[in-house]
């Protein structure tokens, strides 16, 4: 029997808009599982780069995908992405991976490879999943969908601060250029482009802090849960 305290929460939005922070915080508050689908695309990109796969060639890409297993390992309450059993959280957050990931995520074979896996993860509900096509393609019937936005300058500054904090040597201009490039590829690709699902709640967090954003989203989640219990 379905647990009425569990729904699927889909969160989509542009790069570095704070959706992962929101997804993680919401999952923690509700006792749900959090899945970062961007990390799955990044792990595949890491494999392609490390093995020097010419992923623009479908035949090479398909052979390589057969050698990839993506999973998550819970360490200290956090779900860390694994590539063929090895935790690769740090390796997937580098600019090397960031520079190629949108092109990899635009490939139909890569998206097909991850789609079923992501849908399977949500079959028992009680999940918060973030990405670009979660509310539109992966869980079109999710009980609650958010579309998170923030201005490009706010997003670039947040990403820049994060990278500098990790010791990377980057410039704000380069970070902003990379975000803009990824926004364009993610929104204009032929397969599962980033779009706001019609029934998604839009949250522009340009002027919200982490706590204000969570409070706003929790309000929606609680009202959907109440609705799920009373119908
Ligand atoms: O959220 P992120 O920046 O870690 O995502 C990395 C890339 O993967 C980004 O270019 C968009 C793409 N992506 C996607 O196409 N679909 C998803 N569900 C998640 C991420």
Provide the pLDDT confidence category of residue 226 given band limits of 50, 70 and 90: confident
Ligand 1: atom nearest CA of 185 is 10
Helices assigned H by DSSP within 53-168: 58-65, 95-105, 108-121, 152-165
C-alpha of residue 227 to centroid of ligand 1, in Å: 31
Ligand 1: atom nearest CA of 106 is 15
Sequence-distant (≥ 6) Cβ neighbours of residue 157 within 8 angstroms: 172
Provide the pLDDT confidence category of residue 196 given band limits of 50, 70 and 90: very high
Q: Is 9 helix (H, G, I), strand (E, B) or coil?
A: strand
For atom 15 of ligand 1, the residue with the nearest CA is: 105
* Of 18, 36, 41, best ligand 1 pocket probe by most atoms within 8 Å of the beta carbon: 41
pLDDT higher than threshold 80 for residue 229: no
Nearest residue to 144 via CA among 215, 204, 222, 200: 200
* Of 11, 13, 15, best ligand 1 pocket probe by most atoms within 8 Å of the beta carbon: 15
| Percent of the chain residues past pLDDT 70, beyond the cut | 97
What pLDDT score was predicted for residue 119?
A: 97
| Percent of the chain residues past pLDDT 90, beyond the cut | 84
Q: Is 173 helix (H, G, I), strand (E, B) or coil?
A: helix
Cα angle 35, 213, 5; round to 5: 55
pLDDT higher than threshold 70 for residue 231: no
Instruction: State pLDDT tens for residues 40-83.
Output: 999 999 999 999 999 999 999 999 999 999 999 999 988 999 99
C-alpha of residue 98 to centroid of ligand 1, in Å: 10
Provide the pLDDT confidence category of residue 230 given band limits of 50, 70 and 90: low
**H helix count then E strand count, the chain:** 8, 8
What pLDDT score was predicted for residue 67?
A: 98
Ligand 1: atom nearest CA of 182 is 10
Sequence-distant (≥ 6) Cβ neighbours of residue 18 within 8 angstroms: 148, 150, 158, 205, 210, 213
C-alpha of residue 182 to centroid of ligand 1, in Å: 9
What pLDDT score was predicted for residue 156?
A: 96
Cα 87 from Cα 71, distance rounded (Å): 9
Compute the CA torsion angle 115, 116, 121, 127 (nearest 10 deg).
Answer: 40
CA R_g for the chain: 17
C-alpha of residue 1 to centroid of ligand 1, in Å: 33
- Check the CA dihedral 186-201-111-108 and report its sign: negative
pLDDT higher than threshold 60 for residue 133: yes
- Per-residue pLDDT, averaged over 108-136, amounts to 96
**Ligand 1 site: residues with CB under 6 angstroms?**
15, 37-38, 41-42, 101-102, 105, 131-134, 182, 186
Taken in order of first residue, the domains within the chain and their CATH numbers are 8-230 (3.40.50.300)
Alpha carbon 202 to chain centroid distance?
A: 16
- Per-residue pLDDT, averaged over 207-227, amounts to 93
Instruction: State pLDDT tens for residues 141-191.
Output: 999 999 999 999 999 999 999 889 988 889 999 999 999 998 998 899 999
- The pair of three-digit structure tokens given for residue 170, joined into one six-digit string: 């980057």
């Amino acid at each position: 029997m379905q647990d009425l305290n569990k729904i699927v929460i889909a969160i989509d939005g542009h790069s570095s808009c704070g959706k992962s922070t929101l997804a993680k915080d919401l999952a923690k508050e509700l006792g749900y599982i959090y899945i970062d689908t961007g990390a799955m695309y990044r792990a595949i990109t890491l494999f392609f780069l490390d093995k020097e796969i010419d992923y623009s060639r479908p035949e090479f890409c398909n052979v390589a995908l057969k050698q990839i297993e993506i999973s998550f390992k819970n360490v200290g309450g956090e779900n860390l992405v694994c590539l063929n059993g090895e935790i690769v959280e740090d390796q997937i957050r580098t600019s090397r991976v960031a520079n190629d990931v949108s092109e990899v995520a635009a490939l139909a074979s890569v998206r097909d490879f991850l789609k079923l896996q992501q849908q399977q993860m949500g079959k028992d509900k009680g999940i918060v999943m973030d990405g670009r096509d979660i509310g539109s393609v992966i869980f079109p019937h999710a009980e609650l969908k958010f579309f998170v936005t923030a201005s490009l300058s706010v997003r670039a500054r947040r990403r820049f601060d994060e990278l500098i904090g990790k010791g990377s040597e980057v410039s704000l201009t380069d970070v902003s250029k990379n975000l803009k490039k990824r926004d364009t590829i993610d929104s204009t690709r032929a397969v599962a482009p980033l779009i706001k699902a019609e029934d998604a709640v839009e949250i522009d967090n340009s002027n919200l802090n982490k706590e204000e954003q969570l409070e706003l989203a929790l309000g929606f989640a609680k009202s959907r849960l109440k609705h799920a219990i009373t119908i």
